[in-house]
Structure 1
Amino acid sequence: MLTKGKTGLVVIDVQGKLSTVVHDSERFVANLVTLIKAAKLLDMPIFWLEQNPEKLGKTVPELQEVLGSVTPISKFSFSACGEPAFVEAVKKTKVKTWLLSGIETHICVYQTTLGLLDLGYEVELVSDCVSSRALSNKVLALEKLARKGAEITCLEMCLFELIGDCRADEFRSALSLIK
């Protein structure tokens, strides 16, 4: 069960043209906007990654807007855990479980998940906030990562797990995000 205060969010490589050609791109980006807003509402640590931004382009404007003051971490390895600045930042938090989102599920999200699991973290992939160009690649990656110890969740499931109670201060604001 996800716990507020011990859960963080990682947003991986939602950049340039690639973000427009992944499966169901409009819904994927809209869900990711909602997830980021929810993470901010719950005061969760957020890490934002960009793969070789000089070549692949910047993060899509919709996400840049909601990420606001969060500073992106550039990376060149497919796994964010290959970037020392990311690993150092992750270790400085009190987070036990990382929600992973972004693209592509079968490449950078996949390898980052394995890296975080190797570092001893729990990982939950937000299934409606990850995507790949081919749906079959996304499905394969989620199935394989589940066998390797990652959990699979969805936007609403993780949000309501983190809130836990309809009397929580954040409940009404969170509810407005998903309606």
Structure 2
Amino acid sequence: MLKPEECVLVVVDIQGGLAGIMEQSEALHQTVLKLIQGLRLFEIPTLWLEQLPQKLGKTSPMLSEELIKTCSPISKQHFSGWNCHDFREQLQQSKRKQIILVGIEAHICVYQTCLDLVKNGFEPHIVVDAVSSRTAENKRIGIEMMQERGAHITNMESLLFELQHEATGERFKQLLKLIK
């Protein structure tokens, strides 16, 4: 069971022209945006990765405008975020083990980051409607590979309501507004 005090959101490489050519790109962006906003209601910290932003471009504006409110991008050159010292250090300093993982591409950067997280004792939760690849087949394969290697599979609404636990209170009302 996910616990807000144990979670960190990791946003992987939703940037530049590549973000726009992902399978169901608009739906991906909307889901990630709702997830960022929803997780903020639980005070869950975010780590935001960008793959070679000087070459691939910055994070999509609709997401970066929301992310910049609570964190700064971490530039990386390896496919796995784990190989980035700043990312690894911030994650370890959080002392949180449940990783909510979203981003692109499911079969490359998200997959390799997930694999390294599992190898290093973390518990990744892949939000399947908040990850994508250029093709549906690559997304499917990426999700399967992550699940086979120990990742938990979820979706945005299931995850938010798992964190919420009960259908009462102001946060519940805000979550309902957010997902509708």
Q: TM-score range by the shorter chain?
A: over 0.9
The equivalent of 1:176 in structure 2 is 177
The equivalent residue for 1:32 is 32
Match of 1:162 in 2: 163
Cross-structure match for 1:9: 9
**Equivalence map 1:19-168=2 (5 Å):** 19-69=19-69, 70-168=71-169
CA offset at residue 147 of structure 1? 1.0
The one-letter code matched in structure 1 to 2:88 is: V
**Residue 170 of structure 1, CA deviation:** 1.2
Aligned to 2:16, the other structure's residue is in SS state coil
CA-based RMSD: 0.8
- Structure 1, unmatched stretches of 5+, are none
Runs of 4+ in 1 over 6 A off after TM superposition: none
Q: Deviations over 1:38-81 (max 9, x none)?
A: 11111001000000000000000000111123100000000000
Residue range with higher mean Cα deviation, 82-91 or 65-74: 65-74
Aligned residues: 179
Deviates more, 1:46-55 or 1:168-177: 168-177
Amino acid corresponding to residue 151 of structure 1 in structure 2:
H
